[in-house]
């Protein structure tokens, strides 16, 4: 069935042809939601039409408005404000939308479109626990994947684990030297925290050795290179690459501890993955691509045998892609891994969720793949995001330098418990129900606060500010959903009861219906922009509108049976869309609160 917006877009070229004997394609017209201070629900921007009407925007709007009202029954009036034609849509149309669309379980979910998209996120190092930056990364990646899936895409959630390299060997060596066989079971520590502990120990001991060497007259650079610990770590890496059995066994054991720890944190965050890639499997990839690029003249060799690409004509610089000794650099491996992922899944789009400190790296990577003639390179996208800061002193940190993800999650749940009990929102709850609610509110507050901000922006995360039952917060939206569920429960609402039109709508009712109508377009736009923030701010505005409606129009006390059932159905549709929207952010909403 054609939407009203589609009907209007289809009618506009006919209006132009009839009124001005000219041609304009549908994609040349611009529809917007009418601004709240003006009457109407759908706005046509008339400026583009003046090119063929040869009249003022106001006169053009009057003529187009009269044509649309005559040819589309749902349009019952219009007004023109400068270059904007505001169309007033009949109350019966909005009522019928509630009846036919908004209460449909599939409302806002697109049919499969045949597109395949990979979203790669998390990408942790196996030498330490996940931290606050990883939380934003995981939440962004998961939410974008869910939004893309809601738009009909087949989505592959991927995680490229950095499980090899000198940093991994540092943890391994420190545990070997100072661990006395300590295990997660014996220590009571999560495996990732235990391994992270030895990474910190390595760093402390390494610095002690540097200080001793500097006291003996070595420069800082010399001390860093000559400290026995770093030399041993380098030897361990070489032994790993040579396949030394003892080193490989230790590597497997300690990585196993880390993965078990990561799984617990991922479960708390509510994120998941379909495909794992491991750098230990991919670090030698890319050398075939270098040979291919040399044969095509995309790369060139310098006299020392190193291989480069000259990107100066593209506003970048020369980039090393293979060292003189034939060993890879990061971009070599990334070229090979990009090819591997495409060979595995043949996706139309591949999204890398990586912090903005890597912006330049991805510009270079994507450009090289395009120059190599990779047909799929146009589908590569870097979802760049800004750093997350915390007010000083607000959150403890296990390592003293970064905010540990598990600490932050525990703190959020504890704060949720304290604030919820202070407000008396858990009267009559069992202990199990309370625990589940605190978890839901704490995680909802964390996720919403991090996702409501556009990804590219750096943000300041204040845990106390995020757990507020008023304002633009997750708990406010969760509370609104619980409020609606309470209303529906008290009324013993039956969604099977036939909805009947009961006359004119109140302003708050119409506003809610118009907002619900926008949900599919918001989900579509969020996918195009790779921005969960659009969903977050939409559900906040919807929750605000519902609370205004709730306070201004009697629902349970309405004396008219038809009106009461309509308002209950409107409440049910609002709750459903709040739940869907929050679900796309990875946030659960409670039915009691």
307-310/388-389 β-pairing? unpaired
Do 374 and 101 touch, CB atoms closer than 8 A?
A: no
266 contact partners, CB below 8 Å, separation of at least 6: 122, 138, 272, 273
154-161/116-120 β-pairing? parallel
Distance of CA 485 to the CA centre of its chain: 27
Do 352 and 380 touch, CB atoms closer than 8 A?
A: yes
Tokens representing 247 are 């080193």
The predicted pLDDT at position 400 comes to: 53
Q: Which of 132, 29, 140, 126 is nearest to 87 (CA)?
A: 29
**Per-chain mean pLDDT for the chain:** 94
Tell me how crowded residue 464 is: count the other CB atoms within 10 A of its CB.
Answer: 11
Q: Which of 387, 386, 365, 384 is nearest to 376 (CA)?
A: 365
393 backbone φψ class: left, alpha, beta (φ>0; ψ -120 to 50): left
Q: What is the pLDDT of residues 47-75, one digit of tens each?
A: 999 999 999 999 999 999 999 999 999 99
- The stretch 240-250 carries a mean pLDDT of 96
Crossing angle between the packed helical segments 132-150 and 245-269, to the nearest 10 degrees: 60
Tokens representing 175 are 């545990």
3-state SS, residue 160: strand
The predicted pLDDT at position 397 comes to: 47
pLDDT at 228 > cutoff 70: yes
Q: Which of 443, 578, 451, 446 is nearest to 526 (CA)?
A: 451
Q: d(Cα 268, Cα 265) in Å, to the nearest integer?
A: 5
Q: What is the pLDDT of residues 85-114, one digit of tens each?
A: 999 999 999 999 999 999 999 999 999 999
The predicted pLDDT at position 401 comes to: 62
- The stretch 266-281 carries a mean pLDDT of 97
Question: In whole angstroms, how far apart are CA 157 and each of 41, 120, 121?
Answer: 38, 6, 8
Residue for token pair 């996720």: 447
Give 544: exposed, middle or buried? Use CB within 10 Å, 0-12, 13-18, 19+. Answer: middle
Read off the DSSP letter of residue 472.
S
Q: d(Cα 477, Cα 544) in Å, to the nearest integer?
A: 8
Q: d(Cα 205, Cα 197) in Å, to the nearest integer?
A: 12
Percent over 70 (pLDDT), the chain: 98
H helices of 72-106, where?
Answer: 91-97
**In terms of pLDDT, which residue wins out, 497 or 207?**
207
Strands (E), 54-140: 75-81, 84-89, 116-120
Q: d(Cα 32, Cα 122) in Å, to the nearest integer?
A: 36
User: Radius of gyration of the chain from Cα atoms?
Assistant: 29
Tokens representing 269 are 């965050």
Tell me how crowded residue 540 is: count the other CB atoms within 10 A of its CB.
Answer: 21
Q: d(Cα 80, Cα 59) in Å, to the nearest integer?
A: 9
Sheet strand arrangement including 307-310: 300-301, 307-310, 318-322
- The stretch 511-529 carries a mean pLDDT of 96
The predicted pLDDT at position 69 comes to: 97
Tokens representing 554 are 């009697």
**In terms of pLDDT, which residue wins out, 429 or 398?**
429
Q: d(Cα 554, Cα 567) in Å, to the nearest integer?
A: 9
Q: Which domains does the chain have, with CATH numbers?
A: 4-89 (3.30.1360.70), 116-389 (3.40.50.620), 438-453+460-584 (1.10.730.10)
**pLDDT category, 28, cuts 50, 70, 90?**
very high
- The stretch 391-418 carries a mean pLDDT of 77
pLDDT at 392 > cutoff 80: no
The predicted pLDDT at position 395 comes to: 47
Q: What is the pLDDT of residues 149-175, one digit of tens each?
A: 999 999 999 999 999 999 999 999 999
Which is it for the CA torsion 573, 578, 584, 586, positive or negative?
negative
Percentages helix, strand, coil for the chain (3-state, rounded to 5) are: 60, 10, 30
The strand pairing partners of 318, in sequence order, are 310
Q: Which of 201, 226, 203, 232 is nearest to 213 (CA)?
A: 226
Tell me how crowded residue 413 is: count the other CB atoms within 10 A of its CB.
Answer: 21
Phi, psi dihedral angles at 249 (to 5 degrees): -65, -45
Do 347 and 117 touch, CB atoms closer than 8 A?
A: yes
Do 539 and 576 touch, CB atoms closer than 8 A?
A: no
Count CA atoms closer than 13 A to 331's CA, side-chain side: 21
The predicted pLDDT at position 1 comes to: 54
300-301/307-310 β-pairing? antiparallel
Q: d(Cα 91, Cα 75) in Å, to the nearest integer?
A: 10
**pLDDT category, 537, cuts 50, 70, 90?**
very high
Question: In whole angstroms, how far apart are CA 210 and each of 214, 220, 458, 487, 529?
Answer: 6, 7, 35, 67, 48
512 contact partners, CB below 8 Å, separation of at least 6: 542, 545, 546, 549, 570, 574
Q: Which residues of 13-41 are buried (b: 16+ CB within 10 A; e: fewer)?
A: bebbeebbeeebeeeebebeebeeeeebb
Tell me how crowded residue 240 is: count the other CB atoms within 10 A of its CB.
Answer: 19
3-state SS, residue 476: helix
Do 119 and 157 touch, CB atoms closer than 8 A?
A: yes
Kind and range of the H or E run holding 45: strand 42-45
Read off the DSSP letter of residue 75.
E
């Amino acid at each position: 069935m054609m939407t009203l917006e589609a009907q209007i877009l289809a009618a506009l070229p006919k209006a132009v042809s009839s009124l001005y004997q000219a041609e304009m394609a549908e994609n040349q017209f611009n529809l917007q939601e009418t601004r709240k201070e003006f009457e109407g629900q759908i706005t046509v921007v008339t400026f583009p039409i003046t090119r063929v009407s040869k009249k003022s925007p106001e006169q053009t709007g009057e003529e187009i408005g009269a044509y649309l009202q005559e040819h589309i029954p749902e349009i019952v009036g219009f007004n023109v404000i400068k270059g904007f034609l505001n169309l007033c849509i009949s109350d019966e149309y909005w009522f019928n939308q509630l009846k036919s669309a908004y209460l449909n379980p599939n409302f806002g979910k697109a049919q499969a479109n045949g597109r395949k998209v990979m979203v790669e996120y998390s990408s942790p190092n196996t030498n330490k626990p996940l931290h606050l930056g990883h939380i934003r990364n995981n939440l962004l990646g998961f939410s974008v994947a869910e939004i893309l899936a809601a738009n009909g895409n087949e989505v592959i959630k991927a995680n490229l684990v950095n499980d090899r390299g000198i940093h991994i060997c540092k943890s391994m060596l420190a545990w070997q030297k100072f661990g006395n066989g300590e295990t997660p079971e014996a220590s009571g520590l999560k495996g990732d925290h235990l391994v992270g502990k030895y990474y910190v120990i390595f760093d402390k001991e390494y610095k002690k050795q540097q200080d001793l060497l500097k006291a003996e007259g070595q420069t800082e650079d010399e001390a860093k290179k000559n400290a026995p610990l770093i030399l041993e770590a380098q030897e361990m890496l070489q032994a790993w690459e040579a396949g030394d059995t003892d080193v490989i066994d230790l590597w497997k054991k300690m990585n196993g501890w880390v993965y078990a720890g990561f799984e617990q944190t991922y479960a708390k965050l509510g994120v998941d993955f379909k495909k794992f890639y491991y750098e230990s499997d991919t670090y030698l990839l890319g050398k075939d691509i270098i040979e291919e690029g040399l044969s095509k003249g995309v790369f060139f060799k310098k006299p020392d045998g190193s291989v480069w690409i000259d990107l100066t004509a593209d506003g970048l610089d020369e980039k090393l892609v293979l060292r003189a000794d034939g060993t890879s650099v990061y971009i070599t491996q990334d070229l090979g891994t990009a090819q591997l992922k495409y060979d595995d899944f043949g996706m139309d789009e591949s999204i890398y969720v990586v912090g903005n400190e890597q912006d330049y790296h991805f510009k270079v990577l994507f450009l090289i793949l395009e120059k190599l003639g990779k047909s799929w390179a146009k589908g590569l996208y870097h979802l760049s995001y800004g750093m997350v800061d915390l007010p000083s002193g607000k959150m403890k940190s296990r390592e003293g330098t970064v905010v540990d993800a598990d600490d932050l999650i525990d703190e959020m749940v504890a704060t949720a418990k304290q604030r919820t009990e202070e407000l008396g929102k858990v009267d009559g709850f069992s202990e199990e129900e309370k625990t589940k609610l605190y978890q839901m509110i704490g995680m909802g507050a964390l996720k919403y606060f991090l996702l409501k901000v556009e990804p590219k922006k750096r943000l300041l995360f204040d845990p106390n500010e995020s757990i507020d039952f008023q304002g633009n917060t997750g708990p406010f939206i969760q509370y609104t959903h619980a409020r609606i569920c309470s209303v529906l429960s008290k009324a013993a609402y039956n969604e099977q009861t036939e909805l009947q039109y009961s006359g004119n709508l109140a302003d708050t009712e119409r506003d809610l219906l118009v907002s619900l109508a926008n949900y599919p377009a918001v989900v579509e736009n969020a996918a195009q922009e790779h921005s969960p923030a659009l969903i977050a701010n939409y559900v906040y505005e919807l929750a605000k509108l519902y609370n205004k409606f709730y306070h201004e129009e009697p629902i349970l006390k309405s004396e008219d049976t038809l009106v009461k059932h309509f308002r209950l159905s409107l409440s049910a549709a609002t709750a459903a869309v709040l739940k869907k929207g929050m679900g796309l952010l990875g946030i659960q909403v409670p039915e009691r609160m």
